Structures are given as structure tokens and as C-alpha cells.
Amino acid sequence: MMKMKLQGKRALVTGASVGIGKAIARALAERGVLVAIAARRTAALEELADEIARAGHRRPVVLATDLAKRGAAADLAARAVAALGQVDILVNSAGASIVGSQWVAADGAAARELFEINYWSPLALIQALVPAMRQRKDGAVVNVTSLAGVAPWVFTGHYSSTKAALSLASETLRLELNGSGVHVLEVTPGPTETALLAGARRDVPGAGAAMAWGPRGNTETLARLVVRALERRRKAFVYPRPFCLAPLLPGVARWFMAQIQRKLDGDEARLEAAREDVGAAAGGRRLTKNRP
């Protein structure tokens, strides 16, 4: 299969104000891609756009949006096409998380917003942008999922569910686009130093101690791997590399994570803290400390 040439392509990157999305936007710009960057915080996007322009690359198009709102993704897609002319590469990197048990987070407002950001918005962007890629017989969709979708952690089950759903959607999309010329890449990060990981260490019971061991990745390396995987038309990859067997052996991964967490079950103090956190999120729309 021929390599994908990124020079001159046009990409939309969501969640580009921080973390993985920001690093991917920067890495694509360095490869000669004209990027539209999207997130809630306009100031952070403008800062990134200025940084990329100062490095001698084309200044990204800044598109402020709140993907927690239904309909925002379709509007974002339309604005991206208007600004870029077309979108050749869609990077679904925006993500959020909440803290709470299954019976507390349940189907509340915070949980529904979480699914809107992490799952429904990527699908809405795919709906808006992939048909034109199919007509051109060229394009790529990059979905950033998570190893949390393979093996969950207590009180973050809703985040795991959104990422597991997006992973399955990515595989289905790949099957449906077979032979179309549109490539699908699933990026599955494990522990990577981002605001989301820092928030988990701080707010999720037992997570800080559990994360004290094992490898942790960084966003710059991950972004370089995304670019290389796009160029080589890889279907999927896991980062950091030592975790690469987890999606292939999900039963083993879940058993291992369950062993780590077995002493957390039934801890009422931790549970009450999680309840208070989700209650504040649902009442005050504090969906996450790590939203882009």
C-alpha cells in the first residue's frame, strides 16, 4: 500500500488546546499540513496557532467550540470546511472524564455530556466529513481511544465506556470504508502525561498509588507516532509500547487491573468523595478538570 503524503493536506483536530490533541496539531503542521484546531478555550488555541506560525509553518485556523453541546460537532465541521476548503484528515482527540460510581453517575447530566464529547461528537464529525472523503477516494479519520476502554478503573467506568464504544465504532468504520481510499487509524494511549492523567491521579481513589509504577508516555512522542502511522496507513497502535498486548488479551488485562483494585471495593470514604465530586459536576456543570 502506498504511503500517505501529508504535505498540503488539510486537517481538523479537536481537543487541540491541551495534551494529545495539541501535540498532534503541532506535529501535523510540522509535516506541512494546514490545520484547523478546535476546543473550548479560544485563548489557548490562539497561543498554539501563534507558536506554530512562529516555527515557520502555516498558521492554523482557530475554531472555538463546545463539543458537550449537541449539534456543536456538525457546526464545527461546516466551519472547518468553509475555512479550509475541505478536510482531508479528521482527528477526534477531544476527551473528558467524570468521577463516580455507576449508580451515582448513572445517566445524569454530567454522564450524558461526557458521552456527547467522547462518543457522539466524533460520530457527528465523521457523518459530516467522511462522505466527501469517500467521493474524493482519499482521506483519513484518527480516533483517539484509551486503554481504559479495555480495562476499567473504579469510579471512572463512564469514561471507559465511552472509549470502548469509540474503539468499536472505529473498527466498524474501517470495515465499512474498506476499498474506499479513506483510512481509519485508532490511537490507543495508555498512561500518558496529560491533564487527564493528572486529574485521575488526584481525584480517582487509589489511582495515584497504582500509577506510581510502570511506564508513562509523553504527548510529543505519541504525536510523532500518530504522524508516522498516518503516513504508513497503519490501522492501530498502542502507546506506550509495553502495553501493546492489552487490546489483544483483554481478559488478561482486566484480570490484572482487577487484582490491583481489589482492596478498593467497598471503601465508603472513597465512595462518598466520588459521590460529592459527581454531584458537583452534575449541578455545576463541572464535567471534568481536564476538558480541552
- Annotated catalytic residues are 159
- For 239, the grid coordinates are 502507546
Instruction: Say what the alpha-carbon torsion angle 266, 212, 16, 230 is, to the nearest 10 degrees.
Output: -110
Calculate the alpha carbon distances from 167 to 36, 143, 232, 275 in Å: 24, 8, 20, 28
Is 265 strand, coil or helix? coil
Paired strand residues for 139: 182
Find the farthest-apart pair of alpha carbons in the chain and give their distance in angstroms, rounded: 56
Q: Do 159 and 97 contact (CB within 8 A), yes or no? A: yes
Q: CA angle 55-78-10, nearest 5°?
A: 35
Residue 100 in grid coordinates: 463516580
> Which amino acid belongs to residue 42?
T
